[in-house]
Copies of this chain bind each other. A is one copy, B any other.
Amino acid sequence: MAEDWANRDDEAEASARLTAVREALHDSNAEALEALLEPLHPADIADLLEQIGQGEREQLLTLWRGGVDGDLLSEIDESIREEVIDFLPDDVVAEAVRELETDDVVDILEDLDEPNQEKILGALERADRVAVERAMGYPEYSAGRLMQREVVVAPEHWTVGEAIDFLRGSDTLPDQFYHVILLDPRMKPTGYVTLGRILSAARSTPLREIIEDSYRTVRATDPEADVAYIFQQYHLISCPVVDENGRLVGVITIDDAMNVLDEEHEEDMLRLAGVGDESSIQDGVFDTIKSRIPWLFINLLTANISALVIGQFESTIGQIVILAALMPIIASMGGIAGTQSLTIAVRALATRDLTVSNAMRVVRREAAVGAINGLSFAILMGLAGWLILGLPMLGVVLALAMVINLCVAALAGILVPLALDRMGFDPALASGTFVMTVTDVVGFFAFLGLATVMLL
């Protein structure tokens, strides 16, 4: 059994391996390094490169001369790829990229600066360079950038037997393919057949009788997020890409779609937290600061709005100082409640479960939830104000402020992302700050305002 598991990337094993690699680097022992890295999948070597510091990384790349290939460059995280390509000798990079399929070259190229892009384009053979440049001509984050140009096609009138003979006679099939795409005489795809069906059907069966129900195409200019959505919604394995005239220009496979899905999720999560989209655990101090300062700064401005609101009630606080201790409770409960509805809304917008059609129902539900949660905590706070602090009217103020703020929080949590989405903005990007500002301002204002009216 052990041999089946030798490749398995287990965390303890990865950590022991990293220690061994560091030792080999320390001893400048090229043989030991080779023995450690050679059996690994490029994805695991890339992870290893990401986990060591820049100095060690350069040492490793120098000591492990023969090891860098196209697959490894593809697997390395964007956050350190530029650095690695800058460091590697030009001929190593050139040889590495020449091995890759064009979609992988495009993927690498996208995140590089101009001189490095030139370096890589210059290394490619003419036909590949033209293909890569054409792909780079499609908008960033579009299907055209994701697709591979290597496709397996057959005329739509062929039979299973003709397709098998053609496939078995062909010596230029791509490494990985799962479907044969049927083309009409004008090069427009009309369906596709899985290899499994081709292998199990009778030779005389017309291909068009065994095409897949789930067949769909995307346009080269479609956003990659839509492509990922289609793969997930319809359980696709591959999807033909067509140009504006409906002619086949390439194919996208599910592993690319899975990557996009993962990136979209990451982006939503980082944006919700107010961190730059492309932040990564590998970033240096400077990049990290750059990605975090903007939202800290915006928060500073919005926090000052809250401070201004509180400032209006200075004389109330001066007379009943305990209000200062209690007011953050109201504000922070609103913040939590707002974040809760907000997260559900952002997620539902991303998965297209929240649409114009059901928005009103969801808004009504949020209002009800806000009111009921508000009342529950209002009773708790009211009792606490009365029994613990011995001030029944303070209890009433706390309770009313809590109801008001939780209702506002629930509604802001759903209405702010919906509005941003309608206006064409990414709801994950700015919702958090908006909603927190609303709940802080409303929380402080309601609590201190009620206190001024009812307690003074």
Q: Which residues of A contact B (CB under 8 A)?
A: 1, 4-5, 7-9, 11, 14-15, 18-19, 41, 43-44, 47, 50-53, 77, 164, 167-168, 170-171, 173-178, 188-189, 194-196, 198-200, 214, 216-217, 230-235, 237, 242, 245-246, 254-255, 257-259, 261-262, 265-266, 268-270, 272-275, 279-285, 288-289, 292-293, 295-296, 299-300, 303-304, 306-308, 310-311, 314-315, 317-318, 321-329, 331-333, 336-337, 339-340, 342-345, 347-348, 352-358, 361-362, 365-366, 368-369, 372-373, 376-377, 380, 436, 440, 444
Complex contact A269–B270 (CB within 8 A) = no
List 15 interface pairs A-B (beta carbons < 8 Å), by A numbering: A1-B245, A5-B217, A18-B357, A51-B353, A52-B358, A168-B200, A261-B262, A273-B342, A273-B343, A275-B344, A281-B347, A281-B348, A292-B337, A296-B377, A299-B336
Complex contact B281–A354 (CB within 8 A) = yes
List 8 other contacts, CB 8 Å, given A7-B216, A51-B355, A310-B328.
A14-B355, A41-B233, A174-B196, A199-B199, A280-B344, A282-B353, A304-B329, A314-B324
Q: How many copies does the complex hold?
A: 2
Provide the bound-state CA to CA distance between A331 and B436, in Å. 13
Complex contact B296–A325 (CB within 8 A) = no
Provide the bound-state CA to CA distance between A332 and B303, in Å. 7
Determine which of B50, B167, B259, B339 lies in contact with A273 in the assembled complex, contact meaning CB atoms within 8 Å. Answer: B339
Given A195-B196, A196-B195, A321-B318, verify A269-B343 contact (CB < 8 Å).
yes
Given A53-B361, A273-B343, verify A292-B373 contact (CB < 8 Å).
yes
Complex contact A199–B188 (CB within 8 A) = no
